[in-house]
A and B are shown apart, each in its own frame.
Chain A
């Protein structure tokens, strides 16, 4: 009798994984973005037989590298920032994607289609301010640098990325020429000089959640911020505003770490998250632009107007130059550290 129960239990235990739905680990950046992903991607796909276990990380490619190199891959799908997609793809950290299983390449905005990663959404680093506290809005990056016209602290992300671009625009470089200028010795010099001028007024932020907090608390009069975070704060009843002029937009990508044990389910997840419906639902939950152009028709104009991809917002925007930062990033970040010490 006891033996029979035992063997039954063993049989049940063995059969269980086959009966249960496939479970995959999806890694995201947390915060408001993760909540939107949960609503648009993780919960709906559970009905299709894929259970998603979300995990947060901070974009450390080192973690993926360590997993792949030690052949103990526990992550199945990872949200990755654009510089890391190209770099990780070159270094063999990601599986190559089969677009036949995802969606026709033509459905996506061009930047979303890469060998190892497919774009999830378009986000933008923009200038933000508190509409309750600042009656005359800043219009350009030159305004952001103008501490006489707008006295008070400025929030900037700790590091060289984005700040050098903004500094050049504040110094009068047209968005289209920013990376051309920054690639030269004089241009980099000019950007750092411009940052020096603002240095006494800068309050640095580290995490994307900080700029809205700074603005609400009145610690800073304006700040650079990820547009989705500003939108999330406004959904909680705050009155934060965005100046889209000279924002830097970029994409986040889905990737599959090389050697993922659930590669098929991972592809299924990516395919689902790329469907027009899922993409539209995501954009409704956070103001990041869909990468699947077919989803635009499903969104009402009010939502569309808030997205970085809206024509009015994208007019003077600059696309983040992945190639430039992949080449120059380490040197410029080191230079930034030297500059901060002075």
Chain B
């Protein structure tokens, strides 16, 4: 086309045309941008800004720097092993005494208590006792503080203050993968009784993988059957798939409790058929969580599978059989490979939704069936340690992104939802 234009129309190959073309192109880009602008702004406000805020929360550490500026300076030269110099005691007393509001002391106490259990009462007791009497020099302040609460003699509280003097910290993120900084600033593993999130992340992925697998096993034959039906019947059945999809998750979880409890419908039916003697433990353990999650997530597997299967011409299968393949081999080697995009999309969708599950495991699972989001909620609502909650959220986000990258490498194609 270009060569043709270049040879037959040499007259208008000047810079004038190029400019005109560029102008048209620019206008087109601008128009496209203007059309997508509302969406971009929407995404920015509802998606990128909150995620940015989350990431910021995970590394923010203003409490100590705000409340104890003098102490942080006084501790800068400290070796972090012995009891700090008296000047540090004087600085703590001065800093706490200068706090404008009790809420500032409370924020400091909360922050330090997440590092060292007990720091909350130490800070608040000291804050309430201020101002100190007989504070002629730093040594006198030190003696006063220790008389007030002898825990001021323990280095671990001082270490927590010294470690958190900076306004930004990687500690929450380290803790989310069971690491921490030692008093000297080296990265080390958490002590065994505080090592949790590695196991919880593995559990989150494990449950999600099992749920994805079951969804695939159940959805594949159903979706295939739907494609073989005439459109009208397929639509009716599709509505049956979608009705639970539109029902509140809580309602469905409650329904599963009724069905699965030891005197519930399932157990009574099985006992009535003489299949079991003792009721099966189907609830408040992993089984119940997986059953309910598979039920809730099944439509997300059926829909992409169905839409991909609809595009596979049935003639291929017939052709394979007429060329001498056994029906099963034809199905596995001709039909199934053509549905890989649907399997990939469905599995990824289900998996990614599953790793964020919270309500279902919380209500149907035991203490060792809780997934990462449960702890995000715990840190947000119960401990009010939002830095830790944000760090766990970041971990979940990072895991999802890694997973998506791996998926793209393996499948070598963009995610298509059919």
Question: CA separation between A335 and B191, bound complex, in Å?
Answer: 10
CB atoms of B106 and A90 under 8 A apart:
yes
Contact B261 A333 (CB under 8 A): no
Interface contact A329-B194, CB-CB below 8 Å: no
Q: Note all chain A residues with C-beta closer than 8 A to B155.
A: none
Q: Complex: how many Å from CA A335 to CA B124?
A: 25
B120 within 8 A of A: yes
A327 near B117 with CB under 8 A, answer: yes
B414: A residues at CB distance < 8 A = none
Interface window among B221-229, B331-339, B345-353, B381-389: B381-389
- Residue in chain A with minimal CB distance to B178: A338
Question: A330: CB under 8 A from chain B?
Answer: yes
- Given contacts A327-B113, A329-B383, A330-B113, A91 and B106 within 8 Å (CB-CB): yes
Within 8 A of B (CB), among A301-342: 323, 326-341
Beta-carbon contacts of B111-144 to A below 8 Å, as 1s and 0s?
A: 0011001111100100000000000000000000
- Chain B interface, >50% SS class: helix
Interfacial chain B residues near A150, Cβ < 8 Å: none
Bound state CA distance, A218 and B124, in angstroms?
Answer: 47
Chain B residues within 8 Å of A65, by CB: 384
Interface centre among B121, B262, B284, B386 (most CB of A within 10 A): B284
Contact of B120 among A204, A327, A341 (CB under 8 A): A327
Residues of chain B with a CB closer than 8 A to A340's CB: 366-368, 370
List chain B residues, Cβ under 8 A from A159.
Answer: 367
B104 vs chain A, min Cβ distance (A): 8
How many interface contacts (CB-CB < 8 Å) are there between A and B? 110
Instruction: Decide yes or no whether B187 CB sits under 8 A from chain A.
Output: no
Contact A62-B381, Cβ < 8 Å, known A327-B117, A334-B194, A338-B193: yes
Residues in B neighbouring A58, C-beta threshold 8 A? 381
Contacts of A337 in B (CB 8 A): 196, 200, 367, 370, 375
- CA of A44 to CA of B113 in the docked complex: distance in angstroms? 43
CB of A217 closer than 8 Å to a CB of B: yes
Cβ of A206 and Cβ of B381 under 8 Å apart?
A: no
CB distance from A86 to the nearest CB of B (A): 9
- CB-CB under 8 A from B386, the residues of chain A are 62
Binding site for B on A (CB under 8 A): 58-63, 65, 87, 90-93, 158-159, 202-204, 206-207, 217-219, 323, 326-341
- Sample 18 A-B pairs with CB under 8 A, ordered by A number: A58-B381, A92-B102, A93-B103, A158-B367, A159-B367, A202-B366, A204-B284, A204-B367, A207-B363, A219-B284, A327-B119, A328-B118, A337-B200, A338-B194, A338-B195, A338-B196, A340-B368, A341-B368
Task: Please give the residue numbers on chain B whose beta carbons come within 8 Å of chain A beta carbons, in ascending order.
Answer: 101-103, 105-107, 109-110, 113-114, 117-121, 124, 192-196, 199-200, 203, 261-263, 283-284, 362-363, 365-368, 370, 375, 378, 380-386
4 A-B pairs closest in CB distance: A92-B103, A91-B106, A90-B106, A60-B381
Known pairs A327-B120, A338-B199; list 10 more (Cβ under 8 Å).
A63-B381, A91-B106, A92-B103, A158-B367, A218-B262, A219-B262, A219-B263, A329-B383, A333-B383, A340-B368
